[in-house]
Amino acid sequence: MALDLMSKRLAAAVVLFGLHGCAVAPYGWKLEKAGCFERTLHEPLYVPEAAELGPTDIRVGRWVSASDIRILQFSRGLDKQGAEPNREQLVVAAGNEESSCVEVLRMESCPGAEAAYSDLLRLSLPVGFRSDAPNSTEVADGTIYFLASRDRERNSLSWVSAGPVHPASMELENSFVRLEGCFKVVRNRLGRVRSN
């Protein structure tokens, strides 16, 4: 368990170091296109600023293990100036260490998506969470949570947390649990990619 968490942190550091210069390069991995790809979800998770999220877009990710990496991206389809939405969509992605599958859905076609998006819009991050607590010797479960968003003023937020203890991690986990049924198509596609 501790080794798995350590492996993830090491992988995260390697990915961040390797992608550091890529954030200013053209971003070649956009999640707006449906299908299966021989690319991992590391870029969209670890380099969210390169994703060109639109105003009020929210991307959440969950890395449980090397074979279970998932992303939900909520988009109201606002243009760069924040004009009214023209297409609300939900991007659902599942991947592993070798490939990923992406599905683009209308938000209303995924039961619970609009409510999950609304809850995430109201999410607050306690900046000093457990800062006064004594050092813990507990080992986290190893799940890593990701949050990236832009508000209507194009202010960006990028946040990463290891383990489910943080209140925001619990809210992100809630989103994945509520929308589990929306992952069925991409999980099936990813299973077929693995078997080929």
Indicate if the pLDDT at residue 130 is higher than 90.
no
What is the pLDDT at residue 92? 95
Please list, in sequence order, all residues whose beta carbon lies within 8 angstroms of the beta carbon of residue 166, skipping any fewer than 6 positions away: 129, 145
* Element holding 189 (H helix, E strand): helix 184-195
**What pLDDT, in 10s, does the model give residues 175-185?**
999 999 999 99
**What pLDDT, in 10s, does the model give residues 18-74?**
444 444 444 556 787 899 999 889 888 887 665 578 888 899 999 999 899 999 999
Amino acid letter, residue 49: E
Q: Please state whether the predicted TM-score (pTM) of the whole model is above 0.75.
A: yes
Count, residues in the chain? 196
Q: What is the DSSP letter of 77?
A: -
Query: Helical H runs in the chain?
Result: 2-19, 42-46, 113-121, 167-178, 184-195
What is the pLDDT at residue 101? 95
Q: Which residue has the tokens 């991995």?
A: 29
Indicate if the pLDDT at residue 3 is higher than 50.
no
Residue 162 to residue 53: CA distance in whole angstroms: 23
Sign for the CA dihedral angle at 178, 32, 77, 143 comes to positive
* Element holding 94 (H helix, E strand): strand 89-95
The answer to whether the CB of 54 falls within 8 A of the CB of 78 is yes
